[in-house]
Amino acid sequence: MATKHYAVQSEDEESYFISMTDVVIGLLFIFIIMLMFFAMRFQEATHTQNEATQKQNKLIDDLTGSETTRSNILQNIGSFLQKKGINVTIITDEGILRLPEEILFGRSSWELNAKGVEALKSLGEALDQVLPCYTIGTKSRQDNCPKTKAKIEAIFIEGHADSDPFRNPTVIAGPTPEQRRPVNNPQISTTQRPLGQNDQRGAGREAPPPKDNLDLSTLRATSTFRELLRARQGLDQFLNENGKRVLSVSGYGEYRPLATEAGESPDQYKQRNRRIDLRILMSTPRSEDAKKMRQELEPIERHP
């Protein structure tokens, strides 16, 4: 009887171990399935993250590439002018090539002097050499150009002035006592008489523009713009990616003063503020493209 008891107990233990083995194998199988599931999810998330990273890097490359390209454009134009003996200042981080007043204009004048005409002739030549690679239009080209997709959006010819109130040199001095005598012609009174710019009886009347620094700076910018187009035909044919002409004009008067420099006198500071700036703006990603990229990145930012 004892032998039979031990046989039954042995069979029970063997059945118990078989059942435990089945449970362990089943759990292991479930674990493997879950592991494969999470591995696939991780792979998908990694792939999506890599795509987002690539898009972000492309956007960053486009932006930094534009900055680098703009710097190269400014350096090329500046080097060309330096070789011609024209001293200009380049402010790389603002995208500005600066021409001081003394190169282009006499004090309080908006008419270019002879030196200014020659300087703009050289500037027009430099622009004509550089712009074809960074614009579109009939004069643009892609051959022999740097490897970049960056394009110019606009070049503003900006006029600036100092803070001193502008006094128009064309204002006529007041009339002499003799000139104050009544007009002999009874049909024309002193208030009805036609007044010309050189008519002394027009003294006290407001002279033609410019009447303030804002007018003066704008007229200087337009004088520079017109002389560039006259000196180098076709500069107005360079277009941005939207088909708009890149050259444009603006005047700021005394409203955008420069930062003071250590050790300079008030007169030196005012002189630096009397200037023409060529400000280069590069094309940036369109708003709809940026919005689309933002929408694609939002799910990833919520579930990294």
The band of 172, judged by pLDDT with boundaries at 50, 70 and 90, is very low
Highest mean pLDDT pick, 54-63, 125-134, 197-206: 125-134
Write down the pLDDT at residue 80.
Answer: 97
Write down the pLDDT at residue 73.
Answer: 97
Write down the pLDDT at residue 191.
Answer: 33
Write down the pLDDT at residue 189.
Answer: 35
- pLDDT tens for 26-79 read 777 787 888 787 777 777 766 666 665 555 555 555 555 899 999 999 999 999
What 3-state DSSP class applies to 177?
coil
On the CB side of 137, CA atoms within 13 Å amount to 22
Is the pLDDT confidence value at 304 over 90? no
Collect all residues with Cβ–Cβ distance below 8 Å to 269 and sequence separation of at least 6. Answer: 162, 258, 260, 261
CA separation, residue 57 to residues 53, 63, 290, 293 (Å): 6, 10, 13, 12
Write down the pLDDT at residue 155.
Answer: 98
The pair of structure tokens assigned to 233 is 């035909």
The band of 200, judged by pLDDT with boundaries at 50, 70 and 90, is very low
d(CA 251, CA 259): 18
Q: Tell me the average pLDDT across 154-177.
A: 79
d(CA 75, CA 72): 5
Write down the pLDDT at residue 185.
Answer: 42
What 3-state DSSP class applies to 4?
helix
Per the prediction, the chain carries an average pLDDT of 79
Collect all residues with Cβ–Cβ distance below 8 Å to 202 and sequence separation of at least 6. Answer: 172, 195, 196
Of 302, 292, 15, 256, the residue nearest 159 (C-alpha):
256
Write down the pLDDT at residue 21.
Answer: 73
The band of 188, judged by pLDDT with boundaries at 50, 70 and 90, is very low
Letter string b/e over residues 162-201, b meaning 16 or more CB atoms within 10 A of that residue's CB: beeebebeebbeeeeeeeeeeeeeeeeeeeeeeeeeeeeb
Write down the pLDDT at residue 34.
Answer: 82
Domains present along the chain, CATH in parentheses: 71-171+211-294 (3.30.1330.60), 178-206 (no CATH)
- pLDDT tens for 243-277 read 999 999 999 999 999 999 999 999 999 999 999 99
Q: Tell me the average pLDDT across 216-229.
A: 97
Beta-bridge partners for 279? 96, 156
Write down the pLDDT at residue 149.
Answer: 86
**Pairing, β 152-160 against β 247-251:** parallel
How many degrees, rounded to 5, is the angle at CA 26 between CA 22 and CA 32? 145
- pLDDT tens for 267-303 read 999 999 999 999 999 997 655 555 565 565 555 555 5
Between residues 92 and 24, which one has the greater pLDDT? 92
Q: Supply the pTM of this predicted model.
A: 0.67
d(CA 213, CA 190): 32
